[in-house]
């Protein structure tokens, strides 16, 4: 009986104890796991860089639900345009999520015209809207108010096949008003139009890589078998964006590619910096059944950073201008902050927006302390203010001591201040062998200059001591010689006799 009572008391006390200490609810709890990759290509847990704050659907905006929206653009002035594909309309919203206008029809030479499956949008610096009206096979250029400027129609050119059907999916425009179009079924690259809408040519073809096992199979197979095999054609681009300097960022969805993100210069060469520990391709470790990342959107952020969207896992990967992975957020699921079929990523202010076609809504992500500090430090580093970045990197390291880029950032600043010995330690922590070598070269020279006197003195003393030893021993041998010679002779004689 007494034992039972005791048991009850203990149980009650334990209940109390549990209630007294509730499960720690961290402010930055997320429905996805945050991680980054270290030098050894292992995924290491990391604090979340962005947390979901709210989701916005068409009904929330008071204009009826979106139907399969497929693109989203944020202008420099902070206006958000959403391409509501299924409803054939472009929705214009301001930063406070107040609807400013809905464009679903426009005046085409006196006739009323509509969109058919618009899938891509770009807003240039004069606030003109470039709409990839895919099923109508044209790009419609409208002013902000919805007045028609011009239409880019089916291109005419001898390099295009006779039965070519223009089916634009994504569009972007540079400062010179050249229009870059990703079109369906076009494997030659990104289609490029001049400011009058004339087709100029292609830029940035994806290369076909040879698969050697496939090659051997081909050698062994008959003609009939060969015709059954898939053709090797370059992959299509999935999305494009343009940065302030006029470089086109493009993604493709080639699953085996090591370079699914490209930064094309005006002559169409890929100039993306890939100085990180591993390829700029989203996840580097993944389960085989899930497959590698499928990058379907790219958004150029400020300070050379860019985010890419992985449709396969619903993750957003953000890289700095040198190709280091800064942070990863997002995932697949039903909670706020996870996606069904994410299609577009954008940034507004410090926040990031992700458009989810499956859920027909937009999720707003706010940076955490960690995320905003990283962004800040990357910005300072990009603009050459490495010294200003140091205290911020140190704060980042307090939040995440596994953050290699922060160590390298501090190391670079120390290197610039000629504190080579300290820089060495930081580069070693960040596993940056290139910069370590540079720092070590300077450090070694420094040390040699500093200790040259001592070194030479020691060396001279050693040489002198050695010479003295030689001299003394040779003197002794001279004295010993007649005796030893005699002894050996004696020995020899003894042997022969």
Name the minimum Å distance from CB 425 to other proteins: 11
Residue span binding other proteins (CB under 8 A) among the ranges 16-24, 256-264, 399-407, 428-436: 428-436
Site for other proteins (CB under 8 A): which residue of 153, 434, 446, 450?
A: 434
Q: Does 258 bind other proteins (CB under 8 A)?
A: no
CA dist 406 to 51, 142, 395, Å?
A: 21, 45, 9
Q: Does 440 bind other proteins (CB under 8 A)?
A: yes
Assigned token pair, 434: 């290139």
Computed on alpha carbons and rounded to an integer, the radius of gyration of the chain in Å comes to: 34
**Residue 85 CB contacts under 8 Å (≥ 6 apart), including other chains:** 67, 68, 69, 70, 71, 117, 118, 119
User: What gap in Å lies between CA 43 and CA 37, rounded to an integer?
Assistant: 4
Residue span binding other proteins (CB under 8 A) among the ranges 11-19, 242-250, 356-364, 430-438: 430-438
Site for other proteins (CB under 8 A): which residue of 165, 302, 444, 477?
A: 444
Name the minimum Å distance from CB 451 to other proteins: 13
C-beta neighbour count of 75 within 10 angstroms: 17
C-beta neighbour count of 429 within 10 angstroms: 16
Closer CB to other proteins, 98 or 433, in the complex: 433
CA angle 492/494/497 to nearest 5° reads 110
Torsion of CA 373, 275, 33, 340, to 10 degrees: 110
Closer CB to other proteins, 86 or 421, in the complex: 421
Closer CB to other proteins, 40 or 212, in the complex: 40
Site for other proteins (CB under 8 A): which residue of 105, 441, 476, 490?
A: 441
The runs of H, that is alpha helices, within 107-221 are: 212-220
Closer CB to other proteins, 121 or 423, in the complex: 423
Closer CB to other proteins, 273 or 428, in the complex: 428
Site for other proteins (CB under 8 A): which residue of 433, 470, 481, 490?
A: 433
Closer CB to other proteins, 286 or 440, in the complex: 440
Name the minimum Å distance from CB 203 to other proteins: 36
Residue span binding other proteins (CB under 8 A) among the ranges 86-94, 125-133, 196-204, 437-445: 437-445
Ramachandran quadrant class, 337 (left: phi over 0; alpha: psi -120 to 50; beta: rest): left
Share in percent of the chain as helix, strand, coil (round to 5): 30, 30, 40
Residue span binding other proteins (CB under 8 A) among the ranges 77-85, 152-160, 304-312, 432-440: 432-440
DSSP 249: E
Assigned token pair, 273: 């910096």
User: What gap in Å lies between CA 152 and CA 145, rounded to an integer?
Assistant: 19
Q: Does 177 bind other proteins (CB under 8 A)?
A: no
β-strand pairing of 138-142 with 129-133:
antiparallel
**Residue 284 CB contacts under 8 Å (≥ 6 apart), including other chains:** 37, 41, 278
Name the minimum Å distance from CB 433 to other proteins: 6
Return the bridge partners of 351, or none: 348
- Number of residues interacting with other proteins: please give it, by CB under 8 A: 10
Phi, psi (degrees; rounded to nearest 5) at 74: -115, 125
Its sign, for the CA torsion 330, 335, 340, 343, is: negative
Name the minimum Å distance from CB 287 to other proteins: 23
Name the minimum Å distance from CB 409 to other proteins: 19
Please report which helix (H) or strand (E) contains residue 395, including its range: helix 386-399
Name the minimum Å distance from CB 36 to other proteins: 17
Segment 110-114 long-range contacts (CB within 8 Å, at least 24 positions apart) = 113/148, 114/88
Closer CB to other proteins, 232 or 275, in the complex: 275
Q: Does 278 bind other proteins (CB under 8 A)?
A: no
Closer CB to other proteins, 60 or 434, in the complex: 434
Name the minimum Å distance from CB 30 to other proteins: 28
Residue span binding other proteins (CB under 8 A) among the ranges 9-17, 236-244, 390-398, 431-439: 431-439
Residues 233-252 contacting other proteins, CB under 8 A? none
314 neighbors 292 (Cβ within 8 angstroms) = no
Site for other proteins (CB under 8 A): which residue of 437, 474, 484, 488?
A: 437
Q: Does 428 bind other proteins (CB under 8 A)?
A: yes
Closest CA to 48 of 293, 393, 318: 318
Residues 17-56 contacting other proteins, CB under 8 A? 40
The site for other proteins (CB under 8 A) is made up of: 40, 428, 433-434, 436-438, 440-441, 444
């Amino acid at each position: 009986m007494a034992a039972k009572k005791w048991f009850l008391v203990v149980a009650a006390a334990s209940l109390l104890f549990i209630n007294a200490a509730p499960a720690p609810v961290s402010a930055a709890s997320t429905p996805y796991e945050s991680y980054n990759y270290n030098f050894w290509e292992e995924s290491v847990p990391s604090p979340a860089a962005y947390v979901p704050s709210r989701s916005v659907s068409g009904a929330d905006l008071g204009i009826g639900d979106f139907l399969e929206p497929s693109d989203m653009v944020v202008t420099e002035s902070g206006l958000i345009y959403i391409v509501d594909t299924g409803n054939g309309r472009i929705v214009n919203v301001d930063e406070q999520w107040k609807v400013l206008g809905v464009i679903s029809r426009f005046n085409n030479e006196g006739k009323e015209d509509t969109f058919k499956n618009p899938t891509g949008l770009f807003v240039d610096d004069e606030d003109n809207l470039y709409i990839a009206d895919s099923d109508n096979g044209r790009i419609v250029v409208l002013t902000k108010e919805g007045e028609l400027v011009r239409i880019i129609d089916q291109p005419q050119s001898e390099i295009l096949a006779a039965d070519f059907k223009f089916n634009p999916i994504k569009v972007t425009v540079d400062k010179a008003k050249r229009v870059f179009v990703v079109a369906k079924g076009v494997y030659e690259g990104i289609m490029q139009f001049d400011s009058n809408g004339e087709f100029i040519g292609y830029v940035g073809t994806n290369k076909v890589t040879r698969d050697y096992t496939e090659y051997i199979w081909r050698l062994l197979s008959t003609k009939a078998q060969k015709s059954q095999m898939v053709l090797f054609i370059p992959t299509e681009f999935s999305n494009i964006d343009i940065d302030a300097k006029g470089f086109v960022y493009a993604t493709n969805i080639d699953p085996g590619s090591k370079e699914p993100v490209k930064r094309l210069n005006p002559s169409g060469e890929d100039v993306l910096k890939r100085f990180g520990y591993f390829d700029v391709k989203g996840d580097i470790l993944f389960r085989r059944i899930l497959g590698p990342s499928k990058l379907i959107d790219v958004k150029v952020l400020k300070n050379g950073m860019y985010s890419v969207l992985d449709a396969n896992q619903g993750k957003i990967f953000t890289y700095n201008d040198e190709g280091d992975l800064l942070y990863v957020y997002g995932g697949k699921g039903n909670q706020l902050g996870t996606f069904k079929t994410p299609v577009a990523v954008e940034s507004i202010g410090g926040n990031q927006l992700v458009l989810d076609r499956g859920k027909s809504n937009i999720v707003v992500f706010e940076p955490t302390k960690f995320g905003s500090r990283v962004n800040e430090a990357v910005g300072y580093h990009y603009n050459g203010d490495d010294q200003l970045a140091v205290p911020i990197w140190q704060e980042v390291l307090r939040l995440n001591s596994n953050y290699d880029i922060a160590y390298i950032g501090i190391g670079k600043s120390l290197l610039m201040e000629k504190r080579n010995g300290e820089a060495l330690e930081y580069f070693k922590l960040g596993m940056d062998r290139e910069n370590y070598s540079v720092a070590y070269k300077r450090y070694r020279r420094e040390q040699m200059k500093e200790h040259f006197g001592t070194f030479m003195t020691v060396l001279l003393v050693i040489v002198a001591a050695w010479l003295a030893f030689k001299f003394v021993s040779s003197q002794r041998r001279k004295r010993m010689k007649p005796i030893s010679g005699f002894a050996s002779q004696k020995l020899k004689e003894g042997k022969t006799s």
